[in-house]
A and B are shown apart, each in its own frame.
Chain A
Amino acid sequence: MTAPELIPTIGMEVHLHLKTRTKMFCACPVRYDVRPNSCVCPVCLGMPGVLPVMNGRAVELAVRMALALGCTIPGYAKWDRKHYYYPDLPKNYQISEYDQPLGLGGHLDVETGAGVSRIGITRVHLEEDAGKLMHAEDGGNYSVVDLNRTGTPLLEVVSEPDIHSAEEARAYAEALRQLAVYLGVGDCNMQLGQMRCEPNISLRIGTGSDGKPRYTPISEIKNLNSFRSVERAVAFEIARHRDACAEDPKGYTLERLGKSTRGWLDDQETTFLQRSKEEAHDYRYFPEPDLAPFVPEAAWVEGIRAAVPELPRPRRQRFVRDYGLPQYDAGVLTADREVADFFEKVATATGDPKTASNWMMQDVMRVLNERKIGIADLGLAPERLADLVGLVTAGTINRNTGTEVFGKMLAGGRSAREIVEAENLAQTSDEGELQAIADRVIAENPGPADDFRGGKEKALGRLIGQAMKATAGKANPQVLREVFIRKLRG
């Protein structure tokens, strides 16, 4: 008998902080850079007598994300209370959406080395985040609680179990992050806890005698806060399930062991059991009596749908199709919405998307990567870059000088033209002047000149190089080239 084929079957729950000014149910600001317990009020502290008031902006962002994921927005969503006791949850219940969430049934296309796969989205719902509990660092028998995060609007996106590898799990999380950032729904800074991933892993063992698929027990890994840990933790669990399955093929099943919750130790690269099936909470969900159900008007939803920007994947395909960009370049330029917007402005202003793309890829992206900044912090408007590109295209300066001018534009507030004029960088295209230089270079470099005459094309490069040196880089290389060819072959 051959061993059954084991197919990893993975669903993912992702929590995202929404980019709102204030918390989900009170007016406290959402801040990450302030001292503990400084952004709190009676409402988020869960004081006796307080009541929640829904943050309309959070709902709008959640609906935007749901629409971008292709979800339907039911005409009725309601709030529920989910109960569990923990000191970071002052009310000892979390306001969430249990059985009637605001978004249902969408998908997200994900790319890996193996190709593109479509991951189903089960549901999208809103809830409030809990605070942070920190155990005594001095080894003392106490913990401290920071409730600044309590009540931060939290979007939960639950996928179908359509993910089949660790690589795909990571790609899914990355694609979801890109989408949320693209839409302005969240910043998704994982170090700040603005995005947390919880994969549910099981292996499909094959088919039982009843014809239905059989699975290994589900393990849910809690609170993964980097893409790397998502990939590694999933890979670890897949391997652990394989081993357990090999050891006890009959017993290691979902039917017998159910679902357990596990934690991930990043430094040890291993998971550990947090809660078994028997210890699972009964959350005692019931409808939140302090909040009215959410009944969005169709026109309001359509308004949000209309404002959803073009998404990264379709935009990339359009860049390839309409601008003739290579797949790779289109991918880089659409990864960030602001970069893509910037590029399109330069492309439109210059009327030359391919050249604009070269400038973006070679000059702009290099600086962004070196300085680790976003394009908004570049200090250069796309129209000004377009002016520079125009100077090169028109032959006023050559391409290398262009890169030099680009650097100077970032350093100061001057325009490309001002820099070129002030520093006398305009290239020499005057044939008479370049002929004199060419004559001198040929006289001084008889070897390469003879080589070229003898048919060695490469020798021309050396001659042009010498001439560029003689003009301090200002000669128009195109004109120079023609002059040399005429002189040596004509």
Chain B
Amino acid sequence: MAATDMTACRMREALRARDLSAADATAACLDAIERLNPQVKAFLSVDAPAAHARAAEIDRRLDAGDPVGLLAGVPVAVKDNMCTADGQTTTCGSRILEHWRAPYNAHVVERLLAEGAVIVGKTNLDEFAMGSSTENSAFGATCNPWDLARVPGGSSGGSAAAVAARLVPLALGSDTGGSIRQPAALCGVVGMKPTYGRVSRYGLVAFASSLDQIGPFGRTVADAALLLQATAGHDARDSTSVPEPVPDYLAGLEEPVAPLRIGVPRQFFGEGLDAEVEQAVREALAVYERLGAELVEVDLPHATDYAIAAYYIVAPSEASSNLARYDGVHYGYRSADHKDMIDMYMRSRSQGFGDEVKRRIMIGTYALSAGYYDAYYKKALRVRRLIRRDFDQAFEKVDCLMGPTTPTAAFRMGEKTADPLTMYLSDVYTASANLAAIAGISIPCGFTAAGLPVGLQILSGVFTEDRLLRIARMYEHEVDWASRTPPVCEVPA
């Protein structure tokens, strides 16, 4: 079996058994990247020599029988909004940080290194994680491996596409309103947004601080569990990370959750939902029913329309603040021609940021302005509490909620770029989980007639990732979507 076809868990076993060397695993990934990245454009930067050197070091440790971590020798990709002090740039998909090299490692990058992972490169994203298609990247869009004319979703589109195209078995993404789950659905992979506070945000370049959360991509539920295991846990440098013990996510993964009551929110099957997507999701629900689960229709009155409205106040407000630091003074892009200080600020930011980022900075600046704060930001926080209450009430009755991750399968490049509001609705089913701080996952649940993947979203309460993964695994065990290979991989070598 080719290393690139292995799941991370399978690769891990092969590495430990010394049936596969880290050098070969890394070489296979780098080779795949070299062949396919020009078409998929998932990676913004790849440091092949460093990856080779790192793999050789892990091999030495494995050969010597030295203690190695959970991910020893496994190649991993990191979204380019997480700081790496390895000399590669951390661009956030923005001109304003095009040449910026972080002087420190993000907590998750430290964790990956401590667990023996080989970080092969940094993946593409919508600028500062603002978008749902990666078309907002300053360095060009990523293509969906299932149809290169379509978007991979976003903002973690590079990470999702890299895993889908089998360039790496694992990748990290960040999810602010659906930025892991939505591209996972569109690329036919597993993507998880853990509970807010489960994974440290230290070193994740902030978009919207109260919503951002780092999470794993893998081709299977077990792979996502493995990467979550390696990165979760308290970090004193992030005051919002929670000192909740990290369970062993892999240990009980094969154990079904029984009895299982699944809530099916009425609001997740409303207007705008594509018929093929709905059918695939209904079939997945039927699989759970066959497994003995009880389906219960539930009401989340605030979780769709109000969620998008509240999200597009809270996220831009925090973004307008978080992005204030990119001013050309201390680091990053500075406009060459300026008359004075204010002019330098204005030109550097006008030239350094793309349209969508500017749009959100303006929305956020407006919403936080004196006289508007109560009407917008404060009200959005109240809506946020109502959404959380909707979920709390639902989770009193059911173990999890299920529905489509996205209203449609992958859309065409350029299809929604002219209309930001249409693009924003890509997150209609996902944003509420961020506002409520709960855990969510998207797993593949079929394909459209055109061969595009469809994602099933499962949501569960705070710090119930272990149960959420087990529920996801129950379905995965019954189907075989993960063995399908996107057409781009089948091009003769």
Interface residues of A, Cβ cutoff 8 Å to B: 42, 45-54, 81, 83, 85, 87, 90-93, 145, 282, 284-286, 289-292
Contact = CB atoms under 8 A, between A and B. Distances in A.
Size category of the binding interface on chain B: 35 or more
A51 B325 contact: no
Nearest to B241: A51
Given A87-B341, A286-B377, A48 B240 contact: no
Contact of A53 (B204, B239, B330, B373): B239
Contact of A292 (B82, B97, B104, B239): B239
B209 A290 contact: yes
B331 A47 contact: yes
Contacts of B393: none
B205 interface: yes
B206 interface: yes
Contact of A83 (B100, B209, B321, B377): B321
Interface of B: 81-83, 90, 92, 97, 100, 102-104, 106, 201-206, 208-210, 236-240, 317-318, 320-321, 324-325, 327, 329-331, 341, 345, 365, 368-370, 373, 377
Given A48-B205, A286-B377, A42 B240 contact: no
Contact of A282 (B90, B209, B370): B370
Contacts of A282: 369-370
B76 to A, nearest CB: 18
Contact of B327 (A45, A85, A145): A85
Given A87-B341, A289-B209, A49 B239 contact: no
A42 B106 contact: no
Given A51-B201, A90-B330, A284-B368, A46 B325 contact: yes
B325 A90 contact: yes
A59 B172 CA distance: 36
A46 B329 CA distance: 11
B396 to A, nearest CB: 26
A246 to B, nearest CB: 35
Given A92-B325, A286-B317, A51 B239 contact: yes
B325 A54 contact: no
Contact of A290 (B240, B365, B368): B240
A52 to B, nearest CB: 7
B317 A83 contact: no
Contacts of B345: 85
A78 to B, nearest CB: 12
A289 B176 CA distance: 14
A48 B202 contact: no
Contacts, number: 97
B105 to A, nearest CB: 10
Nearest to B364: A284
A289 B202 contact: no
Report the 8 A-B pairs with minimum CB-CB distance, sorted nearest first.
A92-B324, A289-B209, A289-B210, A284-B368, A48-B205, A49-B203, A49-B205, A87-B329
Given A47-B331, A286-B373, A91 B239 contact: no
Nearest to A42: B104
A91 B322 CA distance: 8
A284 B368 CA distance: 5
Given A85-B345, A289-B209, A47 B104 contact: yes
B330 A48 contact: no
B204 A49 contact: yes
A93 B321 contact: yes
Given A83-B321, A91-B325, A48 B237 contact: no
Contacts of B237: 51, 53
A50 B237 CA distance: 9
Contacts of A90: 325, 329-330
A47 B102 contact: yes
A284 B240 contact: no
A83 B318 CA distance: 12
A278 B320 CA distance: 23
A290 B324 contact: no
A91 B368 CA distance: 17
Nearest to A282: B370
Contacts of A45: 330
B375 to A, nearest CB: 13
Given A51-B202, A52-B239, 5 more contacts: A48-B206, A51-B201, A284-B321, A284-B373, A286-B373
7 contacts: A83-B368, A90-B325, A284-B321, A284-B373, A285-B373, A289-B240, A292-B240
Contacts of B202: 49-51
A156 B92 CA distance: 37
Contacts of B210: 289
B341 A54 contact: no
A49 B102 contact: yes
B240 A46 contact: no
Contact of A48 (B320, B325, B368): B325
Contacts of B377: 286
A12 B210 CA distance: 35
B324 A53 contact: no
Contact of B97 (A48, A51, A52, A54): A48
Contact of B102 (A48, A52, A53): A48
A166 to B, nearest CB: 33
A91 B324 contact: yes
Nearest to A79: B239
B327 A53 contact: no
Contacts of B106: 49
Contacts of B341: 87
A93 B324 contact: yes
A134 to B, nearest CB: 14
A53 B237 CA distance: 6
A50 B236 CA distance: 12
A49 B206 contact: yes
A48 B370 CA distance: 27
A87 B348 CA distance: 14
A46 B100 CA distance: 14
Contacts of A50: 202-203
A81 B206 CA distance: 15
